[in-house]
């Protein structure tokens, strides 16, 4: 389980004839990037295959199963994922690289600092030596008054022979670097700039160019425009610049001057999203993406710079309008607050904003860890009630249900997004679900057993002073029904929810092992295969077993999704084994190993209390599995997506209810989870503008189990989704889905009120 002692003293790697040093335990990708090698990559967690390369010589230890992502031919050619491969000794790698410039580290001095808007400052740095980069690329910046903190910013100027560079720094609430820049004068301080970085630069072509920028995303656009102007290029240029208000516009005089002197056509269109209806503003209003189609020219190439939401929306529009994907280039301007997925590249992202300066601040920081222990407290309380027997069991069921539903109703939403100094604590909290669930299920099976397995009853009676064996004998059958219901709820909550989170971490062997055992309690280890490699790929399409079509009954969905999900898991695993040239009916089959794990648990229940105890455990497990499918039902019900388009936050129903979020490890933030499946639960964003569920999770589960009530409440929400969230192609899919559900008369109404 812990792997071999590979690379214990470090080793070497040769990448396209370039030798590099690989530290002990380091992946090839991490080493390559540290050594300044231009290595293609994206997610860095084994989920995208962007870093695939060929292992020409040597051996590697794989941190995750690449057979789910690589084809049989690729595996036969010794293709590996660099981000998930640790060398066992010297290796030689071949990879297709872009024609990027070598990364350099330069020192310099901040020579000017200017406020461009209320939240954007221009930093001018005079480097000690010129830095070669392409306009549009970015660099890592560090200043001497903030040691150890490095952030990424795009160059706002083209390369200068004298080494002068500029950056636009937007203030981010709570950001260590941005708060420092905006509250201190840095003029005269030493700065360190490492770059160039990133594949974003202007490609050589005569095609018309469309620049779409938002906020400080104007920086790389200005660098490219200034370079084009210096070269007197006559390419047709259109600049869409999105801002909130007139006060957020900047560089406008320079852009207007460019437009007046440009060698070819030049259109400048600033767009304000929060301008008051009665304000004097002669320009465009609304979101910048609402004006993309108005300015398109045939054969255009597009360069998008700004927040991820703008980038995603504009990319979809451009592709639907006929722009080739290869002619759309994007640079997502994310922050550590907005993009927790980047924590792998910026260690400081997982820390709190600053060391707590008071007892109150320390308690707030502590609370952000403790709130996720609500899960364990509930589990232990249920286990205690199962041992106590009688009315305590029913009280635990009723208390858990009322606390979850009323807590969500009364306590409102949790939209906090703290950064954690010790994220390993949050991983251990997930691992602790396994002993808690073992205790709950042991107590449940003990409560219906004739004997006293492991002498647990006698031991606990002696410790507590209560006669637990007598209490068990006096337990009414109705309380045993409560035991079945609450145990199934716990298998679903304590087992499936952390199991879901942990099986996403395919690069962490311990997490994956714990997650699979947690799923074994609901006979659903196949979920670890189908969910990660199937559901996240096909979510909200007709190919996804877990996405319920419009009009489907929840009880029908439980059966259909269970059957189709297991068939999908089997097929995915069979394909992997075929690629690996391994036997289908063997211990290599993760699906079969999962069934064996569940069989071990059933056998343990049988050993405790015979056939009746084993049957009781099986019914609890199946109830826990049914809960998973109910949750699948309500998380994606009725939403449609074109399989050719990327998954967006709008493709999942979301909720930020406080108790549900704390007790379910932020599973409630499902919109972000599907947009970035590799992001750990503590870093998921609340996305308050995403499609929202009826209420918290337990409330929505209750509504889903009453089909007439569900359809009465959800049908209007689904039609509102068509109107407010669906793009053009999704509205077409939605009309077909409505027709199949018998909602044709309603879809026509929705089409009338769609925006635009």
pLDDT of residue 352: 39
Using a 10 angstrom Cβ sphere, with 0-12 exposed, 13-18 middle and 19 or more buried, the burial of residue 707 is: middle
Q: What is the pLDDT averaged over residues 619-639?
A: 96
Q: How confident is the model at residue 47, as a pLDDT?
A: 57
Beta bridge partners of 413: 657
Model confidence at 313: pLDDT above 90:
no
- Could you tell me the two tokens for 115? 């406020």
pLDDT tens string 577-618: 988 889 999 999 999 999 999 999 999 999 999 999 999 999
pLDDT band at 57 (very low <50, low <70, confident <90, very high): very high
Q: 286-301: per-residue pLDDT in tens?
A: 888 888 888 888 888 9
Query: What are the pLDDT digits (tens) for 470-516?
Result: 999 999 999 999 999 999 999 999 999 999 999 988 878 899 999 99
Look at residue 45 in the predicted model and tell me its pLDDT. Answer: 60
Phi, then psi, of 52 in degrees rounded to 5: -65, 145
Sign of CA dihedral 455, 456, 462, 466: negative
Question: What average pLDDT score do residues 417-422 get?
Answer: 82
Tokens representing 159 are: 């390369």
Q: Where are the alpha helices (DSSP H) in 264-326?
A: 292-295, 308-320
- How far lies 322's CA from each of 9, 298, 327, 602, in Å? 52, 9, 10, 56
Residue 612, beta-bridge partner list: none
Q: Give the CA count within 13 Å in the CB-facing half-sphere of 650.
A: 19
Highest mean pLDDT pick, 280-284, 304-308, 473-477: 473-477
* Closest to 642 (Cα-Cα) out of 562, 737, 545: 737
Strand blocks (E) in 581-629: none
On whether the CB atoms of residues 38 and 53 are closer than 8 A, the answer is no
* pLDDT of 148 higher than 90: no
Which two tokens mark 668?
A: 């409630």
pLDDT tens track for 162-205: 889 999 998 876 678 888 899 999 999 999 998 887 778 888 77
* Angstrom distance (rounded) from CA 218 to CA 132: 21
* Overall average pLDDT of the 417-423 stretch: 83
Beta strands in 116-220 (DSSP E): 120-127, 138-143, 151-154, 164-170, 190-197, 209-214
- Mean pLDDT, the chain, rounded, equals 86
Calpha distance 10→506 (Å, rounded): 24
Strands 60-62 and 85-87: antiparallel
- Give residue 258's Cα distance to chain centre: 40
Put simply, whether the predicted model's pTM sits higher than 0.85 gets the answer: no
For residues 22 and 31, give the distance between their C-alpha atoms in angstroms, rounded to a whole number: 5
* Selection from 374, 289, 386 nearest residue 661 by Cα: 374
Token pair of 537 as six digits: 């790929």
Instruction: Check pLDDT > 70 for residue 356.
Output: no
Peptide bond into 193 cis (omega under 30): no
The percentage of the chain sitting over the pLDDT mark of 70, rounded to a whole number, equals 90
């Amino acid at each position: 389980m812990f792997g071999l002692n590979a690379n214990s003293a470090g080793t070497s790697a040769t990448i396209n004839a370039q030798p590099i040093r690989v530290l002990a335990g380091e992946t090839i990708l991490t080493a390559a990037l540290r050594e300044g090698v231009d290595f293609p990559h994206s997610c860095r967690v084994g989920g995208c295959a962007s870093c695939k390369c060929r292992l020409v010589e040597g051996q590697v230890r794989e941190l995750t199963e690449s057979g789910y992502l690589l084809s049989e031919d690729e595996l036969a050619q010794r293709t590996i994922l660099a981000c998930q491969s640790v060398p066992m000794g010297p290796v030689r790698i071949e990879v297709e690289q872009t024609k990027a410039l070598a990364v350099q580290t330069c020192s310099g001095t901040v020579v000017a600092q200017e406020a461009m808007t209320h939240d954007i400052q221009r930093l001018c740095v005079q480097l000690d030596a010129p830095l070669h980069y392409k306009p549009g690329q970015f660099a890592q910046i560090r200043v001497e008054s903030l040691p150890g903190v490095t952030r990424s910013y795009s160059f706002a100027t083209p390369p200068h022979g004298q080494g002068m560079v500029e950056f636009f720094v937007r203030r981010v609430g709570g950001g260590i670097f941005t708060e420092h820049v905006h509250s201190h004068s840095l003029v005269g301080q030493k700065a360190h700039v490492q770059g160039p970085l990133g594949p974003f630069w202007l490609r050589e072509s005569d095609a018309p160019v469309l620049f779409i920028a938002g906020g400080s995303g104007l920086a790389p656009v200005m660098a490219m425009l200034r370079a084009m102007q210096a070269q007197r290029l006559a390419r047709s240029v259109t600049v869409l610049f999105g801002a909130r208000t007139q006060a957020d516009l900047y560089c406008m005089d320079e852009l207007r001057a460019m437009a007046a002197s440009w060698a070819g056509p030049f259109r400048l269109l600033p767009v304000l999203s929060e301008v008051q209806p009665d304000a004097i503003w002669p320009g465009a209003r609304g979101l910048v993406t609402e004006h993309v189609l108005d300015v398109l020219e045939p054969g255009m190439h597009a360069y998008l710079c700004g927040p991820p939401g703008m980038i995603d929306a504009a990319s979809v529009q451009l592709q639907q309008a006929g722009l080739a994907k290869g002619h759309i280039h994007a640079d997502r301007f994310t922050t550590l607050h907005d993009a927790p997925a980047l924590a792998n590249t910026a260690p400081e992202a997982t820390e709190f904003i600053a060391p707590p300066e008071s007892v109150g601040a320390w308690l707030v920081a502590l609370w952000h860890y403790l709130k996720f222990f609500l899960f364990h407290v509930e589990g232990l309380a249920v286990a205690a009630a199962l041992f106590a027997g009688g009315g305590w069991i029913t009280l635990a069921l009723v208390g858990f249900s009322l606390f979850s539903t009323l807590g969500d109703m009364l306590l409102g939403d949790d939209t906090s997004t703290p950064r954690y100094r010790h994220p390993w604590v949050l991983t251990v909290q997930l691992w602790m679900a396994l002993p808690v669930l073992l205790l709950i299920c042991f107590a449940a099976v003990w409560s219906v057993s004739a004997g006293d397995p492991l002498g647990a009853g006698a031991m606990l009676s002696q410790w507590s002073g209560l006669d637990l064996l007598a209490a068990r004998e006096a337990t009414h059958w109705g309380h045993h029904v409560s035991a079945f219901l609450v145990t199934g709820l716990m298998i679903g909550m304590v087992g499936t929810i952390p199991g879901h989170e942990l099986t996403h971490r395919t690069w962490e062997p311990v997490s994956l092992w714990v997650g699979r055992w947690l799923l074994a309690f609901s006979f659903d280890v196949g979920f670890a295969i189908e969910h990660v490699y199937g559901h996240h790929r096909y979510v909200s399409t007709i190919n996804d077993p877990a996405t319920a079509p419009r009009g489907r009954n929840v009880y029908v969905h439980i059966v259909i999704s269970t059957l189709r999900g297991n068939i999908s898991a089997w097929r995915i695993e069979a394909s992997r084994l075929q690629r690996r040239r391994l036997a289908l009916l063997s211990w290599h089959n993760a699906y079969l190993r999962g069934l064996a794990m569940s069989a071990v648990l059933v056998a343990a229940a049988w050993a405790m209390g015979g056939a009746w105890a084993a049957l009781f455990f099986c019914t609890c497990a199946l109830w826990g599995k049914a809960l998973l499918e109910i949750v699948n039902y309500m998380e994606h019900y009725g939403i449609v997506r074109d399989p050719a388009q990327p998954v967006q936050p709008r493709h999942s129903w979301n909720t930020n209810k406080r108790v549900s979020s704390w007790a379910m490890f932020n599973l409630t933030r499902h919109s972000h989870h599907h947009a970035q499946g590799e992001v750990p639960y503590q870093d998921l964003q609340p996305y308050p503008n995403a499609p929202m569920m009826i209420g918290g999770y337990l409330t929505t589960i209750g509504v889903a189990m009453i089909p007439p009530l569900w359809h009465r409440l959800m049908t209007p929400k689904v039609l509102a989704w068509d109107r407010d969230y669906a793009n053009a192609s999704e509205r077409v899919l939605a009309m077909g889905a409505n027709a199949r559900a018998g909602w044709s008369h309603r879809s026509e109404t929705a089409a009338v009120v769609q925006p635009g």
